[in-house]
C-alpha cells in the first residue's frame, strides 16, 4: 500500500516536472526568438548621427 502510494506520488511529481520543463522550453525558445529579432533590428538600424552623451561636449551639434 505504502509503496503503491509512493509510486503514484513519484509519477505525479515527474508529470508535473515534465509540464514545467515544457513550459520553460517554450518560454526559452520565445526569449531566444525575441533576442534574435532585437539583434536584427539593432543591426538593421543605421548608426545614430549623434551620441546622447557626447565624449566632447564642444563637438555636440
With contact defined as beta carbons under 8 Å apart, do 50 and 60 qualify? Answer: yes
Within 1-61, residue ranges assigned H as helices are: 2-44
For 49, residues 6+ apart whose C-beta sits below 8 A from its C-beta are 61
**Taking the chain, what is the end-to-end CA distance rounded to the nearest angstrom?**
81
Task: Show the domain range for 22.
Answer: 2-43
pTM: 0.38
Total domain count for the chain?
A: 1
Q: Is residue 53 part of a domain?
A: no
The cell for 50 is 549623434
Mean pLDDT of the chain, nearest integer = 71
Q: Is residue 7 part of a domain?
A: yes
Q: Is residue 56 part of a domain?
A: no
Q: Is residue 29 part of a domain?
A: yes
Q: What percent of the chain is modeled with pLDDT above 70? A: 52
pLDDT for the residue numbered 58:
61
Q: Is residue 50 part of a domain?
A: no
Amino acid at each position: 500500500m505504502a509503496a503503491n502510494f509512493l509510486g503514484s506520488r513519484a509519477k505525479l511529481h515527474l508529470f508535473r516536472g515534465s509540464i514545467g520543463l515544457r513550459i520553460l522550453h517554450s518560454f526559452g525558445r520565445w526569449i531566444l526568438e525575441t533576442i534574435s529579432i532585437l539583434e536584427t533590428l539593432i543591426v538593421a538600424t543605421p548608426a545614430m548621427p549623434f551620441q546622447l552623451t557626447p565624449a566632447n561636449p564642444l563637438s555636440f551639434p
